[in-house]
Structure 1
Amino acid sequence: MLEKAVQAAEILQGFIHVTRFLDEAQKGVVEDVLKECVQAANREVDDELFGKDRSLPDSECEKEPTVKDKLAPSWARHLGKLKHAVAFACIQRRLAEKFPNNFTVEPRYRKDEFTRDVMLTDRRAGSLRPDIVIHFTRNATRIQCIYDLKFPCGYEVGNPWNTDVVRQMKSYAGLGGQCKPALVTPQFGVDRR
C-alpha cells in the first residue's frame, strides 16, 4: 500500500514538473547562467585569438579576418559566430543540468498564416530564430522569455540597442511570451528596453 502511494506521489510530481513555466527564482538562475556564459565566451575567444585580456582594435572590426577558417566576411561577424558557438555550448551544458525541458537554443519560429499561432518551422522565409528561448516544459511554442546574445567587436562598448536590434526585439515580441525579449551582452548582462 505504501509503495503504491509513493508511486502515485512520484507520478503526480512528474506531471506537475512537466506542465509549467519556470518561476521567477528559476528564471533568475537562467539569466545568471546566460550572463556568465556570454561573459566567459567573450573572454575565452578574445584571449585565444588576441592574447590574455586583449581584444581586436575597433579599427579592424569591419576588415576581413586574417584566419584560415573564416566564418564571415568581417572580423565583427566572424568573432560573433565564434563567441555564439562557445556561449551556446556553455548554456546548453549548464541549463541542461537544471532545466532540461524548459529551454531551446536557436529555435526557428513562424506564425501560422490562418490561426496566427506560433509554430516551430524549418523554413527560413518568414521565420524568426532567437538565440535562447525559455518556455513551458516540453513545449517550445509556449514561450516564456526570449533572449538574444550580442557580442561587441573591439574595445568600444557602445549602446547595443541600435535601430536593427530594436526592430529585431519587436519582431521577437510578436511571438508572445511572459516577458519582453532581452539582449544578453558581456558588458551589460540581461538588458530589456
Structure 2
Amino acid sequence: MSPGRESIEEKLVKCADTARSEVLLNHTAHFPNGGRPTDAECKQLSTDPKFKGKTWAQQLGIEMHEVARNCAEAALKDLVPGRFSLEQRYRYDRATKQKKPVSADEEKALVESGNAGELKGSLVPDVVIHTGDLLAVQAVYDFKFRCVNDGQLPEWERYDRGHPYHGKNQEEMYLDAFGVKPLRITARLGGLR
C-alpha cells in the first residue's frame, strides 16, 4: 500500500476519539459519573424511544459508529479520493474464496422485498481502502467502541450459532475474504492489530 497508510490510520483513530467524546457529551444527563457510563449503566436498557429494546452499550456503540463514519468520510475523501469505501457489503463464498460487492440499491431492494436473509453471511467492514476497484482491497478497518473506557482491548465480534461463519470472528473472516490483516480502530487506544 502507498506510504499514506500511517496517515489514514491516524485520521481514523482521531475519528474514533472524536466519536466517543462527542457521543458521551451528548449523554451527560444520563450518566452522573461525569458523562462516563459504568458497567451497570451500560447493561441497562436505553430510555431513548428510538433505541427501544437496546442497552445503553448498544445505543452508544451505534451512535459512535455513525459519528466515526461521517468523520472518516470527510477525512478520507481528501486523503485517498476514490480509493475507499465505508460499510461496503460484500458477498463471500468461503469455498471458492470469491467475493462480490453488493450495491446499496441491491441491499435496499432485498430488505424492502423481505429477502434480507439473502444478505446473511455477507461481510461489512467499516472502512476498506482499495485501488479504486472494490475487489482490490489494500486495508480493512473496523471501529470498535467499548461502553466502559477501562483500557481493555475491544474484542472482534464472534459469529453466533446458526450463522454461516459460526465459530469464527470478524478478524478471521476479513482476513480470509480480503487477504489483508484487518485493524481495529478504537477510541483512546488507537489502531490495534
- TM-score category, normalised to shorter length: 0.7 to 0.9
The structure with more radius of gyration: 1
Q: How does 1:16-27 map to 2 (within 5 A)?
A: 22-23=1-2, 25-27=3-5
| Amino acid across the alignment from 1:171 | M
Unaligned stretches of 5+ residues in structure 2: 108-117, 160-167
Contact 1:47 1:53 in 2 (8 A): no
Aligned to 2:22: 44
Q: Which amino acid aligns with 1:169?
A: E
Deviations 1:32-82 (A, max 9, x none): 110000000000100111169631122111110122421761111110000
Tell me which residue corresponds to 1:173: 175
Partner of 1:103: 84
AA at the equivalent of 1:135: H
1:135 aligned onto 2:130: yes
Shift in CA distance, 163/94, structure 1 to aligned 2, threshold 3 Å: closer
**1:34 and 2:12 matched:** yes
Q: Which residue of 2 aligns with 1:187?
A: 188
1:164 Cα deviation after fit: 2.4
Equivalent in the alignment of 2:143: 149
Q: Write the distance in 2 (CA, Å) between the matches of 1:142 and 1:30.
A: 17
Compared CA separation, residues 161 and 44, structure 1 to 2 (3 A):
same
Give deviations 1:109-135, integer Å, cap 9, x for gaps: 123578532210235122111111111
Cα separation, 2, equivalents of 1:171 and 1:106: 15
| Counterparts of 2:78 and 2:34, CA distance in 1 | 30
Partner of 1:54: helix, strand, or coil?
Answer: coil
TM-score for the superposition, normalised by structure 2:
0.78
Mapping for residues 48-87 of structure 1, pairs under 5 Å: 48-50=26-28, 54-70=35-51, 73-87=54-68
Unaligned runs of 5+ in 1: 1-21
> 1-side partners of 2:5 and 2:25: how far apart?
30
Q: Secondary structure at the match of 2:136?
A: strand
Over the aligned positions, Cα root-mean-square deviation in angstroms equals: 2.3
Q: What TM-score, normalized to structure 1?
A: 0.78
Q: 2:9 is paired with a residue of what secondary structure?
A: helix
Counterpart selection for 1:88 from 69, 80, 87: 69
Counterpart of 1:18?
none
Instruction: Say how many residue pairs are matched.
Output: 168
Deviations 1:137-167 (A, max 9, x none): 2x11111111110111024332313672971
CA distance in 2, matches of 1:58, 1:176: 35
Q: Deviations over 1:86-122 (max 9, x none)?
A: 0101110111122121110001112357853221023
